[in-house]
Structure 1
Amino acid sequence: MSNPFAGKWTYRSFLNNPALTDGDPEKLAALLFAEGVWTVEDSANGTFIGELGFGSNALMDLKGVITPAHNGVPDHVHIEGSGRPGTSTQDYFYDYDGSLTEHWPNGVNQVSAITGSVIRMKPHNGAPAGLVASFIAVKAT
């Protein structure tokens, strides 16, 4: 079975602030928690292996478990992300939980996406553990 999450994805996470931005670009930009490139290997046996890069010298290693689609429930993944030693992210530890979005039969130019949430598992850079954000990853290749 091929890994449905394999490939490169544009990753963005957003702070869960319910306040409306009223179209203000600065307020909207302030909701962005992180942005990067999520690269996932075509691993087998329900495993997720990849990395999340935020630019040079800012990489996280990702490993997780895939639950295949079943009974109308989409493919799902639970991931542990750890900062790569020797990089600016070496103290980062996050958990990700997400699912492939619905493929609409009448969708026009639909691009595969993963939606879910992320939690900071350990404090780093003065930020406490426990922060939760929502994320979307859009398939790039």
Structure 2
Amino acid sequence: MNITELTGTYTYRSFLELPDPVDDFNMLRFAQATLKLAADPGGAVHGELILSDPGEEPPVVMDMTGTASAASSRVSFTLSGRGRPPIADFHYEYDGGVLRHWETGVNQRTVLAGTVLRAEPHGGAPAGRTASFLAVRRDGA
């Protein structure tokens, strides 16, 4: 995979890192959003994480910037997300990579996986909270 293949629209989901089993999978939910990324051959990545539903005004968006690299057929990336008003105080850091594409896999999609860190406090939530994330590429994206 080359770096530009990160370009696309993904369904982003992040999960609290709770070690014990839960009865309700929603107890793990940290966020669900639309992630749009564009990557250039030199490794620069930019995009947006849209946290609001389509048509919601004002939209709730974080601008994403970062870098990607390819080594041993794996693509890894780091991103920094900074909120636009009304969430201008949001700042999150992301570290992830593209999961393996199985040669014999059926209907496998491109999936990004990694960790996210709340880099600055906001709305009474302290900095330092971490979560795991998956982002699944959407059709036509």
TM-score using structure 1 length: 0.89
Separation of aligned partners in 1, 2:103 and 2:60: 38
User: For 1:81, what is the secondary structure of its paired residue?
Assistant: strand
Structure having the higher strand fraction is 2
User: Percentage identity across aligned positions?
Assistant: 36
How high is the TM-score relative to the length of structure 2?
0.89
Q: How many positions carry a matched residue from both structures?
A: 133
User: Separation in 1 of the partners of 2:38 and 2:72?
Assistant: 26
For structure 2, the residue ranges without an aligned partner over 5 or more in a row are none
Alignment of 1:1-141 (within 5 A): 3-21=4-22, 24=23, 27-55=24-52, 56=56, 57-68=59-70, 70-72=71-73, 74-84=74-84, 87-140=85-138, 141=141
| Alpha carbons 1:4, 1:75 under 8 Å: kept | no
Q: Which amino acid aligns with 1:93?
A: H
Q: 1:44 offset after TM fit, Å?
A: 3.6
**Secondary structure of residue in 1 paired with 2:6:** coil
Are the counterparts in 1 of residues 3 and 68 from structure 2 also a CA contact under 8 Å?
Answer: no
Are the counterparts in 1 of residues 3 and 75 from structure 2 also a CA contact under 8 Å?
no
**Paired amino acid for 1:54:** L
Change in Cα spacing, 1:98 to 1:2, as seen in structure 2 (3 Å) is closer
